[in-house]
Homo-oligomer: A and B are copies of this chain.
């Protein structure tokens, strides 16, 4: 296949949190949303997605309710908790700080 780009470790949580900022979405929908908004650059594997979601739940940043998808399939609609909502900002800031730092190193003096 083509140039698959692997996610950087630690970035998936942020991508998920940010996606959930727009409202409750089920797992499959999160993956599709990230793929779409990244213009097909980022492909979230299920084997990465669900462990990540469970991680976020464990940390109290995300919760879910059972429901039915647009296609009438059983689905869990994940959404941010109040803590999670704050955490999005923390994580976003951290990401920006980090990428700015890396950019400085990459930019040849």
| Chain A residues close to B by CB (< 8 Å) | 5-6, 8-11, 14-15, 18-19, 21-22, 34, 37-39, 41-42, 92, 94-95, 97-102, 104-106, 108-109
How many copies of the polypeptide does the oligomer hold?
Answer: 2
A5 lies within 8 A of B97 (CB): yes
B39 lies within 8 A of A104 (CB): yes
The secondary-structure label for the interface of chain A is: helix
A42 CB to closest chain B CB (Å) equals 5
B102 lies within 8 A of A15 (CB): yes
Roughly how many angstroms separate A5 CA and B95 CA in the complex, as a whole number? 10
Q: A37-B109, A41-B97, A99-B99 are in contact. List 16 more A-B contacts (CB 8 A).
A: A5-B97, A5-B101, A8-B8, A8-B11, A8-B98, A14-B106, A18-B106, A22-B109, A34-B105, A37-B105, A38-B101, A38-B102, A39-B101, A39-B104, A41-B100, A42-B105
